[in-house]
């Protein structure tokens, strides 16, 4: 909005006023002055990137993984500001590399634990699995794949909707106070059509909101709120690939019932209809 301040055809200059809390004042001053230092966020999603590189055969052992990290912006920033990445300052280059290697081994063990990669005890032979390829192809987070691996094989359609609604892909969908009345009406109301699988109690969390919007869209229920319609479109963009990944993931597992329900749900997401 600051970039659009003023009227180009009439004004030569414009004034933008940033109003914020005292706690974030320094942050915006640094942004305005161009002095804010940019940090890497690769460490927050390192496990997903490692899996993708293993699938591409860029990484085939721990030594190569460390070489790959050395080529990233993360490696540059770790040397400049190790505290930001929970690494003690003052370490030698060898100790720094050892810390990063430990970080890699920890994530590789997590990938191996749920059969996303095949790894020997020393970590010198890394191979992708079919499930790991699914994770990379559909850009699914590790937390979501871990959730899928915990399925028992007897989940109903309602259970799968709840599981998908709680996936990390939707963590940025937050519940706003002014939306609760609309969502609660969609969930339970004696005088109008409601969602297919009503949830107990009031809508009070983000995953419950996602669940309600998925079912409302699939049931063709009218949503008058513009913000909720935007959230629904965002949910379906991610939900289509998550549900498709779930279906293909379950093809490698035992349990016909859950596979049938996952297939129905994936088709519903694609058609936006039950």
Q: Residue 55 has what pLDDT? A: 96
Report the alpha-carbon distance of residue 203 to residue 192 in Å, rounded: 18
> What's the average model confidence in pLDDT over 49-67?
94
Q: What is the pLDDT of residues 27-40, one digit of tens each?
A: 888 888 888 788 99
Q: In the chain, what is the straight-line distance between the N-terminal and C-terminal CA atoms, in Å?
A: 40
pTM of the model: 0.85
> What's the average model confidence in pLDDT over 227-235?
95
User: Bigger pLDDT: 2 or 132?
Assistant: 132
The H-or-E segment that residue 181 falls in is: helix 180-187
Q: Which of 66, 70, 67, 62 lies closest to 125 in space, CA to CA? A: 62
Is 70 exceeded by the pLDDT of residue 180?
A: yes
Inter-CA distances, 246 with 116, 166, 249, 265, Å: 14, 14, 5, 10
Is 80 exceeded by the pLDDT of residue 14?
A: no
Q: What are phi and psi of 140, to 5 degrees?
A: -95, 145
């Amino acid at each position: 909005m600051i970039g659009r301040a003023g009227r180009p055809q009439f004004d030569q200059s414009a004034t933008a006023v940033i109003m914020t809390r005292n706690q974030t004042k320094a942050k915006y001053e640094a942004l305005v002055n161009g002095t804010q230092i940019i940090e890497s966020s690769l460490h927050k999603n390192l496990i997903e990137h490692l899996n993708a590189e293993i699938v591409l055969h860029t990484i085939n052992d721990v030594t190569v993984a460390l070489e790959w990290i050395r080529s990233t912006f993360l490696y540059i920033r770790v040397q400049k500001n190790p505290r930001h990445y929970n690494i003690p300052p003052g370490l030698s280059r060898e100790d720094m590399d050892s810390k990063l290697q430990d970080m890699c081994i920890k994530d590789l063990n997590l990938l191996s634990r749920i059969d996303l990669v095949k790894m020997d005890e020393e970590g010198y032979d890394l191979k992708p699995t079919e499930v790991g390829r699914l994770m990379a192809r559909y850009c699914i987070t590790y937390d979501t794949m871990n959730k899928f691996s915990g399925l028992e094989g007897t989940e109903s359609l309602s259970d799968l909707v709840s599981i998908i609604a709680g996936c990390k892909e939707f963590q940025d969908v937050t519940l706003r106070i002014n939306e609760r009345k609309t969502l609660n009406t969609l969930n339970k109301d004696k005088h109008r059509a409601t969602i297919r699988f009503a949830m107990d109690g009031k809508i009070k969390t983000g995953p419950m909101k996602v669940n309600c919007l998925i079912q409302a869209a699939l049931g063709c229920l009218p949503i008058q709120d513009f913000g909720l319609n935007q959230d629904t479109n965002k949910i379906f963009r991610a939900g289509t690939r998550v549900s498709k990944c779930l279906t293909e993931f379950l093809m490698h597992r035992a349990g016909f019932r859950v596979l049938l329900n996952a297939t129905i749900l994936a088709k519903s997401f694609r058609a936006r209809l039950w």
